[in-house]
């Protein structure tokens, strides 16, 4: 790493976090470019964290016009219709985020992210996709993987009081502390397509039920052509039926995807702010780890359910390809 010293301003502002992760990590953060799409509550929390951490730039994509529902769990957007009326979620969040750290460049990119090409994504070190259809997630992930640069790819979604993070760091080298030494390690990550196509019966027995439930919701939206999160209580019977079909097709006992859990995910249309904070915090930490190359990143799913309070890592990958 080059021998630049942090500026006095950076040293003063970042003192407490430099004591956690060191100057080298702080320097790497200051050169990192982050792209984020889908500005709901959880992503807002993540953006706040990554801006405070001191990245070089943050680009927001979300052309949806603000509505009361859309901003209900988004603390970056003041609930004053006179203020937010007519503006897009990205624009509103951008204005707020700039305030958190004047040293970070925050901007908006307009357009449909699924139409952006590889050279667009090449500008970034980290891409976070939220409020996207499965098809869009796969497409962005593929484009990132085709580039020679190693882009860290994440998806994040919260439904009701549950949250899910997916991580794809491709081939990731990192160092971690073991006793008093720094040891070099590496991990191999599957793409999102590869991960979710691992047959359910091939997964370890105790994989969290939330994984399966999220896949059911995802599949329902795909089949019905719905926008992400666009599910009503009237859909519940259809979703339960789909669950049955998927379990059968996967030779999985239905009890692995409890009806009650699906019901919660269907009925809980709004995000739950404390879960946004928790998921946004975990995601923030993971992105910082990926940028710094220090510390073992989680592989490759993280789940949180406020009902049982567990924050669980699940490794959903094909046993043949491994690190």
Partner 1 sequence: MDTIEVSNLNRQFLFRQSHVGQSKAKVAREAVLKFRPHIKITPYHANVKDPDFNVDFFKQFNVVLNGLDNLDARRHVNRLCLAAEVPLVESGTTGFLGQVTVHVKGRTECYECQPKPAPKTYPVCTITSTPSKFVHCIVWAKDLLFAKLFGDKNQENDLNVHSTDAASSSEQAEDAFERRKDEDIEQYGRRIYDHVFGYNIEVALSNEETWKNRNRPRPVYSRDVMLNGLAQQNGNIFGATDDPSSVSAMASLGMKNPQDIWSLMENSRIFLEAFKLFFVKREKEFGNLTFDKDDQLAVEFVTAAANIRASSFGIPLHSLFEAKGIAGNIVHAVATTNAIIAGLIVIEAIKVLQNDTNNYRMTYCLEHPTRKMLLMPVEPFEPNKSCYVCSETPLTLEINTHRAKLRDFAEKIVKAKLGMYFPLIMHGSALLYEVGDDLDEDMVANYAANLEKVLCELPSPITSGTTITVEDLKQELTCNINIKHREEFDEEKEPDGMLLSGWTQSSSVEKDDNKSIDNGGSTSNASQTVPVDSEKNDEMGSVSSGKKRKLSEVPDAAAQDFSSVADSDGSRNHKKLELVDDDDDLLMLDADPGINKKKRLQ
Spatial neighbors of 239 by CB under 8 A, at least 6 apart, are 216, 217, 220, 231, 262, 266
C-alpha distances in angstroms, 43 versus 25, 67, 105, 163, 300? 23, 17, 17, 11, 18
Measured CA to CA, the distance from residue 139 to residue 135 in angstroms comes to: 6
Asked if 289 interacts with partner 1 (CB under 8 A), we say: yes
Residue with smaller CB distance to partner 1, 232 or 249: 249
* Binding span for partner 1 by CB under 8 A among 56-64, 71-79, 84-92, 129-137: 71-79
CA-derived radius of gyration, the chain:
20
Within residues 215-254, the interface with partner 1 by CB under 8 A covers: 251-253
256 binds partner 1 (CB under 8 A): yes
Is residue 205 a contact point for partner 1 (CB under 8 A)? yes
Q: Which helix (H) or strand (E) holds 278?
A: helix 273-292
Nearer to partner 1 by Cβ, of 221 and 286: the residue is: 286
CB 174 → partner 1: shortest distance, Å?
10
Indicate whether 180 belongs to the interface with partner 1 (CB under 8 A).
Answer: yes
Residue 311 beta carbon to partner 1: minimum distance, rounded to whole angstroms? 3
**Do 60 and 51 form a contact (C-beta atoms < 8 A)?**
no
**C-alpha distances in angstroms, 278 versus 8, 58, 161?**
31, 20, 11
For the bound state, the minimum distance from the C-beta of residue 280 to partner 1, rounded and expressed in Å, comes to 6
CA 65 to chain centre: 22
- Which one of 60-68, 105-113, 127-135, 171-179 is the stretch in contact with partner 1 (CB under 8 A)? 171-179
Rule CB under 8 A: say whether 22 interacts with partner 1: yes
Q: Is 86 in the site for partner 1 (CB under 8 A)?
A: no
Among 69, 86, 178, 184, binds partner 1 (CB under 8 A): 178
């Amino acid at each position: 790493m080059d021998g630049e010293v942090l500026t006095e301003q950076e040293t003063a502002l970042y003192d407490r976090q430099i004591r956690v992760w060191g100057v080298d990590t702080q320097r790497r953060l200051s050169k990192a470019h982050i792209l984020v799409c889908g500005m709901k509550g959880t992503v807002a929390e993540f953006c706040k964290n990554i801006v405070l951490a001191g990245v070089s730039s943050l680009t927001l994509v979300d052309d949806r016009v603000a509505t009361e529902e859309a901003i209900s769990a988004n603390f970056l957007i003041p609930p004053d219709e006179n203020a937010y009326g007519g503006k897009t979620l990205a624009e509103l969040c951008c204005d707020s985020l700039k305030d958190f750290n004047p040293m970070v460049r925050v901007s908006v990119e307009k357009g449909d992210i699924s139409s952006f090409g590889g050279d667009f994504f090449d500008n970034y070190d980290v891409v976070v996709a939220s409020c996207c259809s499965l098809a869009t997630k796969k497409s962005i992930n593929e484009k990132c993987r085709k580039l020679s640069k190693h882009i860290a790819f994440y998806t994040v979604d919260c439904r009701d009081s549950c949250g899910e993070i997916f991580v794809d760091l491709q081939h990731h080298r990192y160092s971690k502390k073991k006793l008093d030494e720094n040891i070099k390690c590496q991990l191999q990550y599957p793409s999102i397509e590869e991960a979710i196509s691992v047959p359910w019966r091939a997964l370890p027995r105790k994989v969290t039920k939330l994984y399966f439930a999220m896949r059911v919701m995802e599949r329902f939206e795909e089949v019905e052509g719905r926008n992400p999160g666009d599910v009503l209580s009237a859909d519940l019977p259809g979703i339960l039926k789909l669950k049955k079909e998927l379990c059968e097709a996967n030779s999985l006992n239905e009890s692995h995807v409890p009806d009650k859990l699906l019901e919660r995910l269907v009925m809980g249309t709004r995000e739950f702010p404390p879960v946004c904070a928790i998921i946004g915090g975990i995601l923030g930490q993971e992105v910082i780890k990926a940028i710094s190359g220090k510390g073992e990143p989680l592989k490759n799913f993280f789940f949180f359910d406020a009902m049982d309070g567990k924050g669980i890592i699940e490794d959903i990958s094909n046993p043949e390809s491994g690190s």
